Amino acid sequence: MCQHRPPCPAASADDHTAARVVSSHPEQGWCLLCNGVVIFDDTGELAPDGHTTAPHRARPLSFAA
């Protein structure tokens, strides 16, 4: 799928979100990466094979009193 040099990481690679954006739709909250992964503003993901990744935002810091 990817024509870039060096090629973008595959959808199954650990660094798959490092692939280039090929279609961006910020008004709808998502973008399509070169490897076929759709990433959402809430940090959720949809892989080309239909596998989903739940949003994985960092937890808020708590301070000891």
CA distance 52 to 45: 6
Question: What is the mean predicted confidence (pLDDT) over 18-45?
Answer: 95
Query: pTM for the complete prediction?
Result: 0.80
Q: Give pLDDT, residue 19.
A: 95
Extents of the domains making up the chain: 1-13+20-53
Does 24 score more than 80 pLDDT?
Answer: yes
Ordered DSSP codes for 10-62:
PTTSTTGGGSPEEEEETTTTEEEETTS-EEETTS-EE-TTS-EE---PPPPP-
List of residues 6+ apart from 38 with CB closer than 8 A:
30, 31, 32, 45, 46
Measuring CA to CA, which residue among 62, 60, 28, 56 is closest to residue 42? 56
Per-residue pLDDT of 37-64, as tens digits, reads 999 999 999 999 999 999 987 766 666 6
